[in-house]
Structure 1
Amino acid sequence: MSQILRELTPKQKALKINLDRNIYGTFAEIGAGQETVRFFYRAGGASGTLAKAMSAYDKDFSDAIYGKEYDGRYVTEDRLNKMLDHEIGLMEERLDKEQHAGKSFFSYANTVTTIDYAKKYKGHGWVGLRFQAAPNEGYNNIVLHVRFKENSAQLQQETLGVLGVNLIYGAYHHTDNPRELVVSLYDTLDKDQLEIDMINFSGPRFRYVDNRLMSLHLLRNEMTEAVMFGPDGYNILPADLLYKKNIFAMRGSFRPVTNVNIDMLHSGLDMFRKDHPQITDENLQVLFEITLTNLRQEGEIDERDFLNRADILCKLGYNVLISNYQEYYKLVDYFSEYTRNRTQIGLAMGVNNLLAVFKEEYYSDLSGGIMEAFGKLFKRNVKVYLYPYQDKEEGVLLTAQNLKVSDNLKDLYKFFKLNDKIQDIEDYNPENLKIHSRKILKQINNCETGWEGSLPGDVAAIIKDKGMFGYDEEKCKFIL
C-alpha cells in the first residue's frame, strides 16, 4: 500500500489533504514564493484546509511579524522556528475550538534563498511543519534543511513546492513510520535536484525517534554525503557548525573509543594549536568522524552498534560527523566548502590510515590519479598529525620518519614530510601503544577482565551498564 501512495503526484497528494476535513492549517513561505501552497490552491477543495497563506517578502514586514534578526540572517533554523511559533499561536488564538472541533491543526513554513544571478551560490533553505496528528493532541515538529542543486531559480522554486507537499502529506500518512516519511520526501523528485542534509523530529508522536538514526537514514538513502549531531543527540546543520571555523578532525571506528583515540586527539590538538596561535576555543571545531564504509565493515550496518558508538562519543561531549567520504581528500573538500582561506584544517590519524592514503588504487576514478587527490588533500591550510604505531612483529616504532610507501611514491611522501604537511605527534603516552580496539572487543565478548583501564573516563561502566558491543552481564556473571 505504501508503495502505491508514494507514486501519487504532488497534485494528487494536495487534493487528498484538501479533502480530509480533519486537517486545517496555515502556510508561511519566505524567499522563494508561495510554492507549496500553490499546489493546494490548484488541486481544488482548499477552502476546507487552508486557514491562511502568506509570504512576508519585505524585511520590515517580516520583522514586524516574526521579530528582527539582529545578525542579519533570515535563512536560519531560528527564523523558521519563530515563524512556526507565531503561526500556530495565531491559529490557537483566533480559531474557535468548538467551531473547529475534530480538526488537527498544522502550520507549514519555509525560509529560503534560491540561486543568485551569477550562479555562484546555489541556494538553500529551512523547511518545517508543526502539526497535530489527531485533534487535541500535542504538536509534533519536523524540521529539515535543503541545499538546491538546480541552476535555475524557477526550477528550485518548483522543487521546493513539491518537497513541501511531500512533507505535509508524509506527516499525515507516515507518522508512524518516520523512515518511510523521510524516503517519501523525494517522491517525484530526483536527488540531482536537491540535497537534504539535516532533519529532526520531535513531539509526542516522535518521542521514540532517535534523530541520529534519521541522519543515518539520509546517508544510506544517498540524500546527502555527510551528517552531524552533537552531544545532546540532536542533529546539527554542518554549515552552521563549521562556517569560518578552524577544524581538527579524527577519523576512526571508535568501537569502542579507547585511550589511544583520546591521546591522539589531545596531543594532536595541542600541536595544531601551537602551529596556529590564532586558533581559539571560539574559532575551533573538533570532530570525531566515522565513515559509512567503517560502519559497514561487519556487513550490513548494525544500527544498535552505530548507536553504541554514538552514545559513548556524545557522553564524552563531542560532535560527531558521519560521512560517505572514504577518501580523505573528499573530506577535506567538504570542509573547504565552509572554511575560508585563512582557516586551518588538522587531521589526526594513525599509521595505518596514512598508509592507506598512499595507495594509488583508491584514486583510479580521478583523471589526475593520486596527484590530483593529493593536490586536494594537502592544500595550503591542511596538515596531518601522525600518531605512532608499535609493530609487534618487527619490534619497531613506526613514525613519519621511517614509514615505507611504494617506491614510486617515496619522493612525493618525502616532499610532503619535508614541508611539514605530515608531522609526528611526539608528546604521546607510550603505554597506549599496547592498546588495540579489536583485542578489547574480543575481551568484552569473552567476558574477560582487564580491558576497562584501556578506555577513557567511565566508558567501561557505560558499556557494561547498557550491554554494548556484545557485553552480556548475565553470561559474564556465569563465567566469572
Structure 2
Amino acid sequence: MTDLNEVDEFQSIISIENKCNRLNRNENIYGTFAEIGAGQETVRHFFRAHNPKGTIAKTLSAYDKDFSDAIYGLEPQNRYVTEARLKSMLDYETGLIEQRISRIKHPNKLFFSYGNTVATIDWAKKYKGHGWMGVKFQKEPKQAYSEIILHVQFHENNASHQQLSLGIMGANLIYAAFYQSEDPKKLISHLYDHLTTDKIEIDSINFSGPVFEGVDNRLMSLQLVKEGITEAVMFSPEGNNVLAANILYKKNILTLRGSFRPVTNLHMNIYEKSLELFLKEKDVKKKNTIVIFEMTLSNLKTEGEIEERDFLDRADLLCSLGHTVMISNFQEYYKVVEYFALHTKEELGLAMGVDSLIDIFNEKYYRHLSGGILEAFGKLFFKSLKVYLFPFKDPETGKIITSKNLKVHPRVKELYKFFLDNDKVIDIQNYDPDLLDTPPKKAYDLIMDGDSHWESLVPAKPAKMIRENNMFRKNKNR
C-alpha cells in the first residue's frame, strides 16, 4: 500500500529532487500547497520532479489580502504573517481535500496540506523578513491529523535567495513528515538538508497529533539551541513553546539568570525585590512588563551533558510559579541584552548576585571582541539598562558585599566606578537577610543527600512537586 514503513535506503543526504520523486511516486500521499508571500517555491520542486500529479491535488497563492480573507477568514488585527493564519490555512485545506476526494473511492489515501505565510526582505534591506510554515498530514488512512508548525527568520540579503531557501525547507519538511518523523530530533536536523543556519533560522517548532504522541515540545525547543539552529527559545507558564518576538514586543523586560536546580526562596526574593525596583523606574509600567527566568546551556549541563528529565523538572517548577522561561546559548550578558533589543525598545533590567557582577567585569570573556570589554559594555549598558544587585555574605568574615564595596580587577576599576556613579548598578534593599546563608546549591545538595531540610529553602508549590515526583533524586539513579 505504502512505503512509509520501509527503511530509508539513502545513507547520505537525499537530494531535493529525489525527495520529491519519492513522494510523487507514492500513490497514496496526496495533498495541497498553499503558499503566501514568497511565491510558490515549495511546490515548484514537486512540479519539476517525476509524476507531480501523484502528489499535487491543488496549489494556490492567495497573495491578495482580500482573496486570503475570502478563503481563510478575516484577520482581526489585519496581520497575515502569523501562526493563527497558517493554522487557518492548514485547517481549511485539509477540510477541503476531505470533502472533495472520496474516501470510498480512495480508501488508502494519506492526505496532507502544506502551507507557509511569510514576508521576505524589504526593498530597503532594513527588515530581513520572517514567516510561518507547516504541514498537516496523515501516516495512516483516516488517521487523525498530525502537525509540524515552525517559525523561521531569514538571514540572506536577497529576496530571491530567501524564497529559494524557503522552498528547500518546505520540501524537506513534507518529506520528513512522511519518512523521518519517528525521531523528531533527527527530523529537525533533516530540515536543514542542503541548507545552513546562516540562510534561514528556525526559532520555534511545535509537534502535535498521533504521530508525535508523547513528544514534549520544550525538549524540541532545547534541541534547536543545542544544535546551534537558534540562540534562544522561550516557553510560557503553561509549558508551551512561544515566539520571543510575540512575547517580548514593546515590553519592559527584567531578566534573572540561574540554574534553578531547583528554584529556591533566594531566587524568588531576588525576583520580587528587583521587580519592585524595576517598576519604580520612570518609564516602566507593570501592565507592560515581563520577567524572564533564563537558563543557559552551561546552566543545564551536568557532568558535561544535558539531562533532559533534569531540564524538564527545572522548567516545570518555574512554570508552576507562573514564570516565562528562556533557554539560551548566551554566555555573556551583553548578548542577552542584544537579543532583547531586537524585540523591544523599552526598558531592560538584569537581576543578579554579586558573584555574577564580578564575572561580568572579567576581561577574559571579551577577548574575541575587537573592542574588548569596552565594546561589550557599550552593548550591555546601551540606553538605560539597570543591574539590580543582590548582596553576598562572606562565609568567613560575615561581611556583606554590595555594589559599594565589591572588588573588581584594578584594570577595570574606573570602568566599574563610571557605571556605579551613573546609577547603572542598583543595590537590592529590604531583602531577607536569612537567605544570605542559603546559596541555591545548598537546596540541591540536601535533596541529593535525602535531607528533608531542603523543603525550608524552596517555595511551597515547587517543594510539593519535588517531593511528590521525586525530582532531581531520580535523575541520580538513571
TM-score normalised to the size of structure 2?
Answer: 0.96
Aligned residues with identical type, % of pairs: 53
Residues matched between the structures, number: 471
3-state SS in 1 of match to 2:10: helix
Amino acid at match of 1:182: I
Aligned equivalents of 2:171, 2:244: Cα separation in 1: 26
Q: Does 1:466 align with 2:469?
A: yes
Distance 1:301 1:472 in 2: 11
On the 8 A contact 1:139/1:204 being kept in 2, the answer is yes
Deviation at 1:437? 2.2
Per the alignment, residue 340 of structure 2 pairs with 335
Q: Per the alignment, in what secondary structure is the counterpart of residue 402 of structure 1? A: coil
Aligned equivalents of 1:323, 1:71: Cα separation in 2:
31
- Tell me the residue number matched to 2:357: 354
Q: Give the Cα–Cα distance (whole angstroms) in 2 for the partners of residues 98 and 166 of structure 1.
A: 31
| Cα separation, 2, equivalents of 1:362 and 1:92 | 57
Query: Is 1:321 the equivalent of 2:326?
Result: yes
Code of the aligned partner of 1:361: K
Structure 1 partner of 2:4: none
1:99: how far off? 1.3
Give per-residue Cα distances to partners, 1:329-376, cap 9 Å, x unaligned.
Answer: 010000000112xx1001100111111100000000000000000011
Correspondent of 1:304 among 279, 286, 309: 309
Q: What residue in structure 1 maps to residue 419 of structure 2? A: 416
Q: Which amino acid aligns with 2:340?
A: F
Residue of structure 1 aligned with 2:24, choices 5, 18, 24: 18
Partners of 1:137 and 1:346 in 2: how far apart?
A: 49
Return closer, same or farther for 1:466/1:259 CA change in 2, 3 Å cut-off.
Answer: same
- Measure the CA separation in 2 of the matches of 1:468 and 1:13: 43
Q: Which amino acid aligns with 2:315?
A: A
- 1:146 counterpart = 2:152: yes
Task: Choose 245-254 or 2-11, whichever is displaced more.
Answer: 2-11
Q: CA, structure 1 residues 469+199, in 2 after alignment: closer, same or farther (shift >3 Å)? A: same
Which sits farther off after the overlay, 456-465 or 234-243? 456-465
Residue from 86, 89, 107 that aligns with 1:83? 89
Give SS of 2:393's match: strand
Taking the aligned partners of 1:472 and 1:53, their CA distance within structure 2 comes to 49
Q: How does 1:42-121 map to 2 (within 5 A)?
A: 42-121=48-127
Contact 1:464 1:471 in 2 (8 A): no
Residue matched to 1:28 = 34
Please give the residue correspondences for 1:183-262 in structure 2 after superposition, counting only pairs within 5 Å. 183-262=189-268
CA shift digits 1:17-36 (9 cap, x unpaired): 00011211100000000000
Q: Specify whether residues 170 and 412 from structure 1 end up closer, same or farther in structure 2 by C-alpha distance, changes over 3 A only.
A: same
Counterpart of 2:79 in 1: which secondary structure?
Answer: coil
Contact preservation (8 Å) 1:25, 1:51: yes
How far apart, in 1, do the equivalents of 2:272 and 2:291 lie? 10
**Shift in alpha-carbon separation, 1:289–1:3, aligned structure 2, 3 A:** farther
Counterpart residue number, 1:285: 290
Structure 1 residue identity aligned to 2:376: A
Aligned-pair CA distance for 1:473: 12
Q: Distance in 2 between matches of 1:471 and 1:133?
A: 36
CA contact (8 A) 1:447 1:471 kept: no
Q: Is the 8 A contact 2:278 2:284 kept in 1?
A: no
Moved more, 286-295 or 357-366: 286-295
Distance 2:388 2:38 in 1: 45
1:48: how far off?
1.6
Post-superposition shift, 1:3? Answer: 9.0
Instruction: Say if 1:115 and 1:152, in contact at 8 Å, map to a contact too.
Output: yes
Structure 2's unaligned 5+ residue stretches are 1-6
- Contact 1:133 1:175 (8 Å CA) reproduced: no
CA contact (8 A) 2:219 2:308 kept: yes
* Whole-angstrom distance in 1 between the partners of 2:428 and 2:46: 60
Q: 2 CA distance for matches of 1:2 and 1:215?
A: 26
1:295 counterpart (297, 300, 304): 300
Q: Distance in 1 between matches of 2:403 and 2:122?
A: 46
2 CA distance for matches of 1:69 and 1:126?
16
Partner of 2:3: none
Q: Of 186, 190, 208, which aligns to 1:180?
A: 186
**What are the ranges of 5 or more consecutive residues in structure 1 without an aligned counterpart?**
475-480
Does the 8 Å CA contact 2:8/2:179 hold for their aligned counterparts?
no
Match of 2:299, SS? Answer: helix
Provide the alpha-carbon RMSD of the alignment. Answer: 1.5
Q: Distance in 2 between matches of 1:16 and 1:22?
A: 12
Note if contact 2:284-2:347 (Cα within 8 Å) is conserved in structure 1: no
User: 1: CA distance between counterparts of 2:76 and 2:28?
Assistant: 39
Matched letter for residue 156 of structure 2: E
In the alignment, the residues of structure 1 paired with residue 267 and residue 284 of structure 2 have an alpha-carbon distance, to the nearest angstrom, of 25
Does residue 435 of structure 1 match 2:417? Answer: no
- Helix, strand or coil at the partner of 1:53: strand
User: Using a 3 Å threshold, how does the CA distance of structure 1 residues 260 and 73 change in structure 2: closer, same or farther?
Assistant: same
Counterpart Cα distance in 1 of 2:108 and 2:384: 60
1: CA distance, partners of 2:435 / 2:58 = 63
Q: Separation in 1 of the partners of 2:62 and 2:337?
A: 39
Separation in 1 of the partners of 2:475 and 2:326? 29
Amino acid at match of 2:71: I
Residue type at the aligned position of 1:117: W
The structure 2 residue matched to 1:7, chosen from 10, 13, 19, is: 13
CA distance in 2, matches of 1:177, 1:471: 25
2:423 is aligned with what amino acid?
A: D
- How far apart are residue 299 of structure 1 and its match? 1.0
Q: Which amino acid aligns with 2:386?
A: K
Cα distance, 1:239–1:164 mapped onto 2, change above 3 Å: same
Q: Distance in 1 between matches of 2:15 and 2:323?
A: 42
Match of 2:403 among 386, 400, 404: 400
Q: CA deviation at 1:276?
A: 3.0
For residue 286 of structure 2, give the secondary structure of its aligned residue in structure 1: coil
Could you tell me which amino acid in structure 1 is paired with residue 180 of structure 2? H
Q: Please tell me the residue identity of whatever aligns with 1:264.
A: I
Deviation at 1:278, TM superposition (A): 4.2
**Corresponding residue for 1:366?**
369
3-state SS in 2 of match to 1:222: coil
